[in-house]
Amino acid sequence: KQEVTQIPAALSVPEGENLVLNCSFTDSAIYNLQWFRQDPGKGLTSLLLIQSSQREQTSGRLNASLDKSSGRSTLYIAASQPGDSATYLCAVRPWTGNQFYFGTGTSLTVIP
Amino acid sequence: NAGVTQTPKFQVLKTGQSMTLQCAQDMNHEYMSWYRQDPGMGLRLIHYSVGAGITDQGEVPNGYNVSRSTTEDFPLRLLSAAPSQTSVYFCASSRKDRGHGYTFGSGTRLTVV
């Protein structure tokens, strides 16, 4: 069974700092990996989807990278803002089967 | 706006009661699924469907039933609610093409007392 780990569980940074969130997975046979944002009491909002054939995807201040061979993905947030405060989750879709496997998330707080 | 709609947003049940959580999507997605989210455990798959008339079990199916009579709707039924089913429930959908990602609903927060 695929295991997805996100470390640290919580992160607090001052506004304006660049930061990296980590996601690791145990089985490198993945089809794609998706990063989500979840605000308290809300649903999951998709941030970036990166296919197994890709090395990175960018959207605005966000950049996600994927290294399948090492079982790792990172989400880079540039010039962090208080509005970036949320929980960030990664999910991997295996090459076979229909289930996405989720990490437990990193809770990010950006201090003004 | 197109998306995944879940109702109700909040629900309190007594142990032993039954209820149905509704999920509807208007994106013509073939794949629909139900997850539950519990503190420290991440999201766990309950049931999923790859199209109308086709459903299958996920990781934690016990105590839940599903059906898929149309492409748009995928209701989740709790047969006899238990306190262990207190959780936040999310419905998600995706195109059958595996290259697509998930779209999530806003969730249903269920408390069983």
| Bond preceding residue A112 cis, omega within 30 of 0 | no
Q: Does residue B2 surpass a pLDDT of 80?
A: no
Question: In the prediction, which pLDDT does A25 show?
Answer: 97
Distance separating the N- and C-terminal Cα atoms of chain B: 35
Distance from CA of B82 to the nearest CA of A (A): 22
* Residue range B21-66, pLDDT digits in tens: 999 999 999 999 999 999 888 899 999 999 999 999 999 999 999 9
Interface A-B: count of C-beta contacts within 8 A: 55
Q: Across the interface, do A89 and B42 touch by the CB < 8 Å criterion?
A: yes
- Closest chain B residue to A90, measured at CA: B42
Give kind and range of the element (H or E) at residue A92: strand A86-94
Q: Residue type for A57, please?
A: Q
Whole-angstrom Cα distance, residue A40 to residue B41?
16
Q: Give the tens place of pLDDT for each residue, A26-47.
A: 999 999 999 999 999 889 999 9
Question: With 70 as the cut, is the pLDDT of residue B1 above it?
Answer: no
3-state secondary structure of A62: strand
Mutation target among B33, B102, B106, B108 for the A interface, most CBs of A within 10 A = B102
Average of per-residue pLDDT values in chain B: 94
- 3-state SS of B8-54? CCEEEECCCCCEEEEEEECCCCCEEEEEEEECCCEEEEEEEEEECCE
Give yes or no for residue A66 having a pLDDT over 90: yes
Among B43, B50, B99, the residue with its CB nearest the CB of A102 is B43
